[in-house]
Copies of this chain bind each other. A is one copy, B any other.
């Protein structure tokens, strides 16, 4: 990171924390240059960056001021999904979204990949380069323990402590990604025909998995900043024979919220009252922009009722396909399910990841990407505002690299699937995140990659398309 970026980040943080109020004058270029021991031009570059991010406004001859808040678009409101169990469809559209990955010329706004080009990942690549050395062949390429590599499970147990959960390595099962973990959890708990409660909107991949297993989903209204409505969930639990609740309560995908701790506790209490399992998808938890990371629901679970699912797909790299589950009292059932689906996991990648964590590289990497994604958000949200039609809402994530955009109500993206494909506009359309095909005027954008020209052009094309659609009515 260059000096001016560093300075700009510092000022951004101060503004966010309210140290400088809306409309207040910011320190002069000269005084910042002295305070931080950097050149005048470095401070000027930092201020231009903040201007670009619409956080400050220059006033000729009197310096920079904190930009009025109204420049930020509102966050989306509480969602209003269909509140009855629904069968999920849209498999073909999901498949099309996956297929689009193949086309490397398309900018993957609709994808789920983190930025894996970061130099802080180099120690991992080095470690992977070493797994196949002659003395290690037997250990790295024989059959592994069914629960997963012991060393990795020990490191994961430590990571889980960061989220406040005390779990030992014997209570953890390594899985093929977080999706694999969720699939095991659900098939260990549910039968075809059962109902699962979820946030609305919810990640389409998990919904497709539930559907494939023959389950129904009830979508619960969800606030874009505080998460699932506890009241609505309670009502649903009273009304329907719900088998499990499945949540992404920390750095949610797609909305980006982290539930306040009290609400996490309230949901856990509900699960206890109705004596059902709670599946906590923590895949983005460690990408939280705040430090230390927010506590998991699992950290409050004294009954072994929570099955925590996660992976290194968003924090490190999705192609590792290394995830895990801490299934609490359902351990035996989940281990059996793992055997049924895949038997043991590949030892080599697991060992490399374990070393990467043990040597401290993982936490160093996390610190870096946290800042990186936060910065990308500032830039992208600002660009979205300038390139998209007026009247949009934009989510304010607390971690991760996903942005949820609500377009004006009259736009129904399901009507333009073919056109968008033709123009190679790759985005995750909102209705995929709903079993009842709500959110037709919404979309999810990935901002993991730094905002470069290619990205800007792709975003401009999307923006222009929306303008066109609006014009034609």
Chain A residues close to B by CB (< 8 Å): 91, 94-95, 98, 101-102, 111-113, 116-117, 121, 124-126, 128-134, 137-138, 140-146, 176-177, 179-180, 183, 205, 208-209, 212-213, 317-321, 336-337, 339-349
Contacts and interface: CB of A to CB of B under 8 A. Distances in A.
B141 A116 contact: yes
B319 A143 contact: yes
Contacts of A125: 132-134, 137
A319 B132 contact: no
A140 B128 CA distance: 11
Contacts of A339: 94, 208-209, 212
Contacts of A143: 101, 111-113, 318-319
Contacts of A133: 125, 129
A321 B345 contact: yes
B340 A209 contact: yes
A188 to B, nearest CB: 10
Count this chain's copies in the assembly: 2
Nearest to A128: B132
Contacts of A138: 116-117
21 contacts: A91-B336, A98-B145, A101-B143, A111-B143, A113-B142, A126-B132, A129-B129, A141-B318, A176-B341, A176-B343, A183-B342, A205-B343, A209-B339, A209-B340, A212-B339, A319-B348, A321-B345, A341-B342, A342-B342, A346-B346, A348-B349
A341 B339 CA distance: 12
A309 to B, nearest CB: 13
A101 B342 contact: no
B343 A341 contact: no
A148 to B, nearest CB: 12
B180 A317 contact: no
B145 A101 contact: yes
A318 B140 CA distance: 10
B129 A132 contact: yes
B177 A337 contact: no
B111 A318 contact: no
A49 B141 CA distance: 32
